[in-house]
Amino acid sequence: MDLNEKFVITISREIGSGGRTVGRKLSEKLGVPYCDKNVIRGLIEHFNLSAYNIEKIKGEKKNWLSDFVQKVAPVPPAGSFLETESRYATEYPEAVTTENIFKVEAQILKDLAEEGSCVIAGRSGFFVLKDHPNKVDVFITSSRENRLERIMRKQQLPKEQAETVLDSVDKMRENYVKRFTSRSRYDLRNYDLVLNMDKLTEDEAVDCILQFIRPRNP
């Protein structure tokens, strides 16, 4: 990967693996925007975006996405651009995720990548941005035991409820990816780097990714 040119790092992850935090910390280290599903849906909801609206705005203004960002965060701090904690990144109901919403999300991802370097979590980024010339796709996984422990701790749930959450989200994400990409998210051929978090801290995982993407000495 050439870090001197526009680049994209996609982070696909299993729930409870810590992948979202790894992606956020990675973006901070690199000083580039971090974008996950809450941000995409927040933009769609806040600006009432549709595929038609995006194309209309793009036809009027070259830097349409920059204009949007300036409206919601005029001077975003380095590393916090488009974070999930943003007051504009509100959750969008899962039931609204139709074929049309996928197309809008995919277009936003493509325009984010065109605007500049970024870290993108989920949203089938590995597939949507498959033609990007300077991209690395990462998959974050962990054992079921460790994922359950994290979900129980983070969401303060008993084990039985945590198991329900884990299984339902795993199924939902796999169905989503298969529906729109005709691929399994568990097919490791989708990715350039796979990290098992069982013996890694989030910071160590970030360091592994940084070592992987940085140029090697000849």
| Residue 75, pLDDT score | 33
Confidence bin at 7 (pLDDT 50/70/90): very high
Structure tokens at 52: 């038609």
Q: What is the mean pLDDT of residues 175-189?
A: 90
pLDDT-derived band at 138, boundaries 50, 70, 90: very high
Q: What's the topology of domain 8-213? A: Rossmann fold (3.40.50)
Average pLDDT over residues 151-173: 92
pLDDT at position 129 over 80: yes
Q: Six-digit token pair at 171?
A: 């199924």
The residue ranges of DSSP E strands in the chain, in sequence order, are 8-13, 34-35, 118-121, 135-141, 193-196
Instruction: Supply the pTM of this predicted model.
Output: 0.75
Model confidence pLDDT, tens digit, residues 31-84: 988 887 766 666 666 556 665 555 555 455 555 555 554 443 333 333 333 433
Running DSSP on this structure, what letter comes out for residue 193? E
Q: Are 46 and 173 contacting, i.e. CB atoms less than 8 angstroms apart?
A: no
Amino acid 59: pLDDT: 54
Q: What is the predicted pLDDT for the residue at 38?
A: 65
Q: Give 79-128 pLDDT, tens digit per residue.
A: 333 433 333 333 333 333 356 667 777 877 888 888 889 899 887 889 99
Q: What is the pLDDT of residue 90?
A: 36
Judge contact between 192 and 136, C-beta under 8 A: yes
> Does the pLDDT at position 187 exceed 60?
yes
As a whole number of angstroms, the distance between CA 48 and CA 84 comes to: 18
Question: Tell me, what's the pLDDT at 114?
Answer: 85
* Domain boundary assignment for the chain: 8-213
